[in-house]
Structure 1
Amino acid sequence: MNDIWEALLKAVSLVLTLDTDLLEIVGLSLQLSLTAVGISLLIGLPLAALLALTKFPGRKILIVATNVFMGLPPVVVGLIVYVILSRSGPLGVLGLLFTPTAMVIAQVILVIPIVTAISRQVLEDYHQEYDELLTSLGVSKMRRISALLWDARFALTTAGLAGFGRAASEVGAVMIVGGNIDHLTRVMTTAIALESRKGDLVMALALGIVLITLALGINLAAYLITETAKRRYAA
């Protein structure tokens, strides 16, 4: 028990003193996760708007598929990306396997369904609320989409935060395609798994503290954004 407390105190010390190795791992994790979320928003928001505001053959199938893909097993995604990027795969010539780019690709595949599904529901609700008003004003389809995206910006930010939480906490897919290479592809989740197996509880606990802090920060941000939106529409 004393050893655990000692390791915990040392872990807190690493966080407070901004240990170089710790900062490198955390920095890479944030860089990759934010990049993946940014790409996912660029793809997911237009797709969500398409599904929410237009009617076309196969729309319901796409909506169901998006909801199903929210539960994609990360290790399966990692395996698929690994096969595609491996030397014998169709994109093996690019040499992306075991690089940060491969990790971003895997995270994007995992995050897009989350961003799309949440954003579609949000935009669909807003569209139902403002449809008659926008129709009476003769607002074009593109301007309607722009107006709804702007009005729903607080709720859509929550979708982005949910996607970031998924990306930052992912371990299975990024471990497979990234290889957990020191100073290259080692992120918080993979480092925690490695350090735990090595018995280095200090670094594992330090990274765990940072990861938990990020998770709390994301949930707090989502709560504050929701409350801000409620006050805005109540005013």
Structure 2
Amino acid sequence: MSEIWEGLRQAFVLVVQLDSDLVEITLRSLHVTLSALAVASAIALPVGAVLAVRRFRYRRFVIAVLNALMGLPPVVVGLVVYVLLSRSGPFGVLGLLFTPTAMIIAQVIIIVPLIASISHQALRELWAEYHDLLISLNTSKVQRMGTLLWDGRRALLTAALAGFGRAIGEVGAIMIVGGNIDHATRVLTTAIALETGKGDFALALGLGFVLIAMAILVNVAIHWLGQTEREGLW
């Protein structure tokens, strides 16, 4: 029991003193996750808008696939990306394996279905409200989707935050494609796994505190956005 308390004390000291390793790993985690979030949002939000506005033959099938992919196992994603980026793979010549870029690609694949599905649900409700008005104004499909994306920006931000929450806590895929290389691809989750295995509980707990703090901040932001959305505060 005394070892646990001593580990907690050392972890607190590391966080308060802004330990250099702790800061480096945290900043790298944010860089990878925010980059993946930006790319995933640029893909997923238009997809959500298209599914809300347009009616096409396989629309229901696409929606069902997106919903199913929300539970896609990250380890499988990591394995697929690893195969594609390995030297014998089709994109091996790019030399992206065991780099932050490979980690970003894996996270993008993981969170695109989540963001697209949530944004589609939000924009579908907004489209039902705006449908008659936008049709009467003789707007183009692009204008309709643009209007929905702008007016539904708070709900879409909630979708993006949900994607961020899943990406920042991911370990399986980025461990496979990143390799957990010190000063190169080591992020919060992979560092926690490594330091725990080494018995360095102080640094592992310090990293865990930072990760928990990020998760709490994201959940508070999602809750606050949900409250303002229901109250109609724009």
Q: Same fold (TM over 0.5)?
A: yes
TM, length-normalised to structure 2 = 0.97
Q: 1:20, 1:47 → 2: CA distance?
A: 40
Task: Determine if the alignment matches structure 1 residue 148 to structure 2 residue 164.
Answer: no
Q: Secondary structure at the match of 1:81?
A: helix
User: How much has 1:223 moved relative to structure 2?
Assistant: 1.1
Q: Show structure 2 runs of 5+ residues with no match.
A: none
| 1:219 partner letter | N
- What amino acid sits opposite 2:198 in the alignment? K
Aligned length: 234
Partner of 1:103: 103
- 1:225 deviates by 1.3
The aligned runs of 1:2-151 (5 Å cut-off) are 2-151=2-151
> How many Å separate the matches in 1 of 2:23 and 2:207?
10
Deviates more, 1:29-38 or 1:46-55: 46-55
More displaced stretch, 131-140 vs 70-79: 131-140
1:24 shift after superposition? 0.2
Question: Residues of 1 paired with 2:156 and 2:91: CA distance?
Answer: 33
Using the alignment, how far apart are the partners of 1:123 and 1:230 within structure 2?
15
Aligned amino acid, residue 17 of structure 2: T
Over the aligned positions, Cα root-mean-square deviation in angstroms equals: 1.1
- Aligned equivalents of 1:47, 1:152: Cα separation in 2: 14
Residues 34-79 of structure 1: per-residue CA shift (max 9 Å, x gap):
0000000101111111111101121111111111111110100000
Provide Cα deviations, 1:8-57, integer angstroms capped at 9, x if missing partner.
01101111111100000000000000000000010111111111110112
Cross-structure match for 2:204: 204
Q: CA separation in 2, counterparts of 1:128 and 1:139?
A: 15
Task: Indicate yes or no: 2:230 matched with 1:219.
Answer: no
Distance of 1:97 and 1:141 partners within structure 2:
39
- Please give the alpha-carbon distance, in whole angstroms, between the structure 2 residues aligned to 1:48 and 1:88: 35
Rounded to whole Å, the distance in 1 between the matches of 2:230 and 2:173 is 37
Counterpart CA distance in 1 for 2:231 and 2:162 is 22
Q: Distance in 1 between matches of 2:126 and 2:190?
A: 39
| Aligned counterparts of 1:63 and 1:139: Cα–Cα separation in 2 | 25
